[in-house]
Amino acid sequence: MQILEKLQEKLGNSVQEKVALAQYSTFKLGGPGRYFFIAKTSDDIVRAVTAAKELNLEIFLLAGGSNLLIADDGFDGLVIKAENKNISVETQYVEAHCNASLQRRGGIFIKAEGGASWMDFVNFTKENSLTGAEWGAGIPGTVGGAARGNAGAFGRSVHEIIKSVEVLDSETTAVKTLINAECSFDYRESIFKKNKNLIILNATFQLQRGNRASIEKEMNERIAYRKNSQPCLPSAGCTFKNIIITDEIKKKLIETIETKELEAKIKGGKLGSAFLIDKAGLKGYQIGGVKVSDEHANFIVKVDDTAKADHVIQLISYIKQQVRDKFGIQLQEEVQYVRYGH
């Protein structure tokens, strides 16, 4: 029996072969997934991971596809598209885990499945007059993707509101709950990034009761800011992480950048990579069908249909080399590569 048939036997006829993955990535780039399964529930994810393990197939968990560069030759294993989307208020969680004082203060817990759209979660908080996630309005992708990458904006990030995360270990197929302190959250980092076997099934968020009108106002402002500052061509968001400023890095930077100019650009201990890329004269620099955005130098955008993931890889490498040569700084990718072996 062919592998496709075996997968269909285990997961149903919806398993497909050679599915173009570009359609599922905001970059609109990348080749096919050898096998492709849409997981509508968390249980579907567990079943798909178990099936892949039995058939010795690599897995790739595809969520909102907004932080990905998928290789031109695609992914030669089972792509599991996470569409487990439930979002609910967790009253039992409050009763079981929270002291009377927190309950009185109105701490509310929301459980969102990994495949739920991050914006559905943000809107859910607004609809329920809950404050704490306003800064996240406008970030694309899913709850699982956001928790894995500790997504953030405006000096805030997801780890500030996560209480716990339920994960499936794809190696052992065990499901366990990690509390926030066990997730090793850091700037765009987490245990889920370091341990690729961990699949986030759901996350429980802690929010506070707030004023709906002011929550909505702040969300609208965040969304408007994004519309004005980010390109609308296809991209994967920020290509590189921002630079954490240490004494040593600052010393290096002031060899080439005037201290005042530099200090004005450092916010919350970080320097935007966009500043260095722009200063290196790379805005608008194009390789093949992709270029450094004219609006935001940390975005690489797809310009036309000649674009390939390989062009992005070449452009990333060129930007890193230029920034290293000019400022002595080694940029680190925020975008995640998808290729066989993942």
Number of residues that bind ligand FAD (CB under 6 A): 31
Using rule CB under 6 A, residue 140 touches ligand FAD = yes
Rounded to a whole number, what is the largest CA-CA distance in the chain? Answer: 68
Please report whether residue 192 would count as binding ligand FAD according to CB under 6 A: yes
Q: What CA–CA distance (Å, rounded) separates 10 from 5?
A: 9
Query: CB–CB of 222/135 below 8 Å?
Result: yes
Asked about 334 being catalytic, the answer comes back as yes
In sequence order, the β-bridge partners of residue 108 are 207
For residues 340 and 15, what is the distance between their CA atoms, to the nearest angstrom? 19
Among 15, 108, 236, 307, binds ligand FAD (CB under 6 A): 236
**Residue 197 in the binding site for ligand FAD (CB under 6 A):** no
Dist. CA 170–CA 238, nearest whole Å: 29
Is residue 210 a contact residue for ligand FAD (CB under 6 A)? no
| Contact flag: residue 82 with ligand FAD (CB under 6 A) | yes
Instruction: Report residue 1 as tokens.
Output: 């029996």
Q: Of 151, 219, 282, 312, which lies in the binding site for ligand FAD, with binding defined by CB under 6 A?
A: 151
Q: What is the DSSP string of 241-263?
A: PPEE--HHHHHHHTTTS-HHHHH
14 three-class SS? coil
Residue the block writes with tokens 């992005």: 312
Dist. CA 238–CA 298, nearest whole Å? 5
Taking the C-alpha atoms of residue 22 and residue 153, their distance in angstroms, rounded to an integer, is 26
Task: Give catalytic status of residue 232 as yes or no.
Answer: no
| Contact window for ligand FAD (CB under 6 A) among 48-56, 135-143, 212-220, 274-282 | 135-143
Q: Which residues pair with 302 in a beta bridge?
A: 290
Near ligand FAD by CB under 6 A: residue from 8, 42, 142, 170: 142
State in angstroms the smallest separation of the CB of 118 from ligand FAD. 6
Residue of 89, 220, 336, 339 interacting with ligand FAD (CB under 6 A): 336
* C-alpha closest to that of 122 among 207, 191, 192, 229: 207
Residue with smaller CB distance to ligand FAD, 107 or 115? 115
- Closest approach of Cβ 129 to ligand FAD, in Å? 24
How are beta strands 290-292 and 286-287 bridged, if at all?
antiparallel
Establish whether 258 is a catalytic residue: no
AA identity, residue 272: G
| Whole-number Å distance between alpha carbons of 302 and 287 | 10
Report the nearest approach of ligand FAD to the CB of residue 284 (Å): 18
Interface pattern 43-62 for ligand FAD (x via CB under 6 A): ------------------xx
How many Cβ atoms sit within 10 Å of the Cβ of residue 44?
A: 21
Catalytic residue chosen out of the listed positions 47, 148, 188, 222:
188
Closest approach, Cβ 183 to ligand FAD, in A, equals: 12
The span of 12-20, 138-146, 206-214, 290-298 binding ligand FAD (CB under 6 A) equals 138-146
C-beta of 285 vs 337, nearer to ligand FAD: 337
Q: How many residues does the chain have?
A: 342
| Helices vs strands, H then E, count in the chain | 12, 20
Please count the CA atoms within 13 angstroms of the CA of 203 that sit on its side-chain side.
Answer: 29
Q: Which of 107, 132, 237, 272 binds ligand FAD (CB under 6 A)?
A: 237
For ligand FAD, the closer CB: 90 or 113: 113
Residue number, 32 or 64, with CB nearest to ligand FAD: 64
Residues 279-308, interacting with ligand FAD (CB under 6 A):
none
Please say which residue, 30 or 107, places its beta carbon nearer to ligand FAD: 30
Q: Which residues are catalytic?
A: 188, 238, 334
Residues that bind ligand FAD (CB under 6 A): 26, 61-68, 82, 114, 139-142, 144-146, 148-149, 151-153, 192, 199-200, 230, 235-237, 336
